[in-house]
Structure 1
Amino acid sequence: MDSSPSASHVQRWAAFSSDPAGGNPAGVVLDADGMTDDEMLRVAADVGYSETAFVTRGDRSDASLRYFSPRAEVPFCGHATVATAAALAETNGGGDYAFATPVGRIDIRVDDTAAGRVISFTSVDPFVEELSEDALRRILEVLHLASADLAAAHAPALAFAGNRHPLLVLRSRTVFDRMIFDPAAARELMDAEAWAATIIVAWPETETEWHVRNVFPVGEISEDPATGAGAAALGGYLRETRAVTPPRRIRISQGSHVGRPSRLTVDIPAAGGIVVSGSAVRLPDPAVGG
């Protein structure tokens, strides 16, 4: 019998929703000790979600956590982190968890409240870099947008909270909703620029209510329905550009354009990592065909 790791070893969770029809699905392998990089990549490709997380060395603290898309390893993934914490809490209960990730230590808090289980992670320290004019031009081409579609108050940038995300803020809900893109052209651009994660496109309904779309062509996926790392990057961007005065909480709606509505809460402290919170729900294992 073949005892090598397979997709059947994977738990499936949707992060940033309490409804299995919403949120961002992630695979979770809690017993990845001894798996090679190739095996992890193969399992992630078999699962087919935007990311699958792999836990090694421990089950509560001092554990290591790695993330693989169906194409490659990803430095950090927020929704798969939330999914992993949910999987661990199902057995071990709420409390504090910590993971060593490729970008550094990530601390997590699992709280059981009257409204349900809430999972929060604190990102590594965020920063913002300039987005070159050429990169911006190419992003606008891929997304079929024009410079006039950008919000004057929010300059395009590269925002980091574990991954570098190109980040654009649009001027209106109409422009935000009508944005379309060619996944193949987006992937070509992202690979050329070595952007391992998503392109963030945001629109502020109010100062504290944001709508976000995350371009992420990988496998059968073109747009991510909930992006914890992107939410942390947006929070860091708003703090670093002084668009908000911390401490400040914002809420993000995401995923409606791909039929998986999601809600993320982002707490922006005066310094340090950005805290991203949400719920998670376990998804059924896939049916085994005969």
Structure 2
Amino acid sequence: MTTTEARSPLTEPLRYSAFTDDPKGGNPAGVVLDAFGLDDAAMLAIAADLGYSETAFVTRGDEAARRFQVRYFSPLAEVAFCGHATIALTVALAERLGVGDILLDTPVGEIPVATGRDGSGAVVATLTSVATRSRPATGAELDATLRSLGWSGADLDPALPPHVAFGGNDHLVLAAASRARLADLEYDFDALAAVMREHGWTTVNLVWRESPERFHARNPFPVGGVVEDPATGAAAAALGGYLRALGLVTRPTTIAIRQGEDMGRPSDLLIDVSPEDPRTRVTGRAVPLG
């Protein structure tokens, strides 16, 4: 995998679960470290066969420079950026190349990732997102989404207004008024998928604020053919931009996000947000599966 020309394609995917240190938790992702000779149809077929919400494919790489070109596919389509597959990929690379800085060239731009080891010796990865942005959701966007979810305006936290936030992909951010509302999620898969396709959203990021520095999240992902994502790094990056846009981050702050708990796949994401920097840093572990 030293240069594009040096190796023939190795299409056998690795399987990791991101944002956890337990294979029973986190969000599974496929990782193909040498997809140099694969076309779009082949990558989509591998992602569909795995059935994970996303698979990361290294389509060009330079180990000496620690720089890699990456594409992401869900079981249904290519995705511009995926946070949990980025964490899985860079943990896999660090386990093979040694820890240190890695630079990914993705469809949304350059994504720097710092890898190191924690006190237990496990690899930890921190990605830096592209610049985030956030805008208020329109009434039409909100009404259609609430109907699809079976929610009403009374189910929302008035202190955290609905926004469309970007952290590599667009995500509608809806803050639930209670933890019970967040836990009770049963939505119209086809209807929500149609709304999301119309507006170009990758997930709907449903959150509940336990405290200013701790959130719980759920991410319906019907446009990817998946009912729900148990850990969503891109949505976490977008949430950082959302909180910054609302003026809720007034100093460099680390925020913990607990996701996947209601699915039985608990996941832990950390985001670092600064009022001076439009980017979000997203940190997590990843462990091999099977």
1:16-27 alignment runs, 5 A limit: 16-27=19-30
Q: Which amino acid aligns with 1:50?
A: S
- 2:102 aligned with 1:97: yes
Partner deviation per Cα, 1:113-167 (whole Å, 9 max, x = no partner): 2043211100000001231111100111111111111111111010001000011
Residues 220, 51 of structure 1: alpha-carbon distance in 2 compared, 3 angstrom cutoff:
same
Aligned with 2:256 (options 251, 255, 258)? 251
Post-superposition CA distance 1:60-88 (Å, at most 9, x none)? 43311100001100010000000100111
How many angstroms apart in 2 are the aligned matches of 1:32 and 1:168?
A: 37
User: Which residue of structure 1 aligns with residue 113 of structure 2?
Assistant: 108
**Equivalent in the alignment of 1:58:** 61
Change (3 A) 1:17 1:272: same
**Which TM-score applies when normalising by structure 2?**
0.92
**Percent of residue pairs bearing the same amino acid type:** 47
- SS of the residue corresponding to residue 71 of structure 1 reads coil
Is residue 12 of structure 1 aligned with residue 15 of structure 2? yes
Mapped to 2, the partners of 1:59 and 1:182 lie a distance apart of 44
Q: CA deviation at 1:221?
A: 2.5
- Please list every run of at least 4 consecutive aligned residues from structure 1 whose deviation after the TM superposition is greater than 6 angstroms: none
Q: Secondary structure at the match of 1:236?
A: helix
Instruction: Judge conservation of contact 1:225–1:258 (CA < 8 Å) in 2.
Output: yes
RMSD across aligned C-alpha pairs, in angstroms?
1.6
How many residue pairs get aligned? The number is 279
Q: Counterpart in 2 of 1:206?
A: 211
Aligned partners of 2:77 and 2:224 also within 8 Å: no
Confirm or deny that 1:230 pairs with 2:197: no
Letter in 2 for 1:139: T
Q: Which ranges in structure 1 are unaligned for 5 or more consecutive residues?
A: 285-290
Looking at structure 2, the residues matched to 219 and 96 of structure 1 have their Cα atoms a distance apart, in angstroms, of 30
Shift of 1:59: 4.7
Q: 3-state DSSP class of the match of 1:198?
A: strand
Which residue of structure 1 lines up, in the alignment, with residue 285 of structure 2? 279
Give the Cα separation in 1 of the matches to 2:76 and 2:105. 22
Which residue identity does 1:23 align to in structure 2?
A: G
Q: Which moved more, 1:45-54 or 1:209-218?
A: 209-218
Which of the residues 170, 173, 177 maps onto 2:179? 173
Distance between the aligned counterparts of 1:207 and 1:219, measured in 2?
31
Query: Contact between 1:239 and 1:246, CA under 8 Å: does it hold in 2?
Result: no
Q: Distance in 2 between matches of 1:87 and 1:98?
A: 14
Structure 1 length as normaliser, TM-score?
0.92
